Structure 1
């Protein structure tokens, strides 16, 4: 399959928001393209993430979103591969691997020490894909979340 990968910008907001909505629905969130669009627009405007789009058949068919972190033992910048999604009609064509490879290239371009990611234990596709792409499972750390209480 022929596809290209480009760094997304504000001009790609609508296409990106449609894919981002499908990604969120995949993770059992309510569909809300407009809310996702606002979220992504803030990331673009505030330079809070870097997002790459896979383009095939003249349209965006996948994306990866990276957030900057800093690694405490390597004392360097690191990227969190936060979001990776390929439209169901374009899966199995190597696009996910291409987006991961572009993320690795971004590490080189930005002098970062590497990529970190987490995915649900139930994400069979991701849990097979990431080791194939050179990621190592980290069984040494526990990941915890604290969420502030939402008040209406």
Structure 2
């Protein structure tokens, strides 16, 4: 059984390890100090919403992070589901699904009109989860990136 709840600053140590694991999944070098600083900044600025999953023994097994935004065209709020990560040993146990469902519930509770996300083209496992939850692949817009540093 997976329990999902909002992350708190008391989760910082374990959440840091999860974030570092997430970054490594995306081929980034491990950097625990930078991950900790990034999370401290998120908590300090309250500019994202982080939900964590816990196992029955209280161990954190994953997280999802949402960033609030708005749509000028839609004249409404939309959140970007920027991060979803589940420990390898907790995959295929409903943890990712529980985190995604909790994110959707939280968005509904806050009157958010739309959730959006992007995932790597090769990440078919995640795509299958998203589509099984009713997410639709965007075919109306192209995504573009510009590195400015």
| Residue 3 (structure 1) shift | 1.8
Alignment partner, residue 141 of structure 2:
141
SS in 1 for 2:138: coil
- Deviation string 1:95-119 (CA, Å, 9 cap, x unpaired) is 1111111011111111110210000
Alignment partner, residue 15 of structure 1:
14
TM-score by length of 2: 0.96
Q: 1:136, 1:124 → 2: CA distance?
A: 14
- Runs of 5+ consecutive residues of structure 1 not aligned to the other structure: none
Single out whichever of 140-149 and 26-35 deviates more from structure 2.
140-149
Alignment partner, residue 121 of structure 1:
121
SS in 1 for 2:93: coil
Superposed, 1:1-150 pairs within 5 Å as 2-56=1-55, 57-149=57-149
| Residue 128 (structure 1) shift | 1.1
Q: 1:37, 1:98 → 2: CA distance?
A: 25
| Residue 74 (structure 1) shift | 2.1
Q: 2:49, 2:116 → 1: CA distance?
A: 14
Count of aligned pairs: 148
TM-score by length of 1: 0.94
- Runs of 5+ consecutive residues of structure 2 not aligned to the other structure: none
Q: 2:99, 2:114 → 1: CA distance?
A: 15
SS in 2 for 1:119: coil
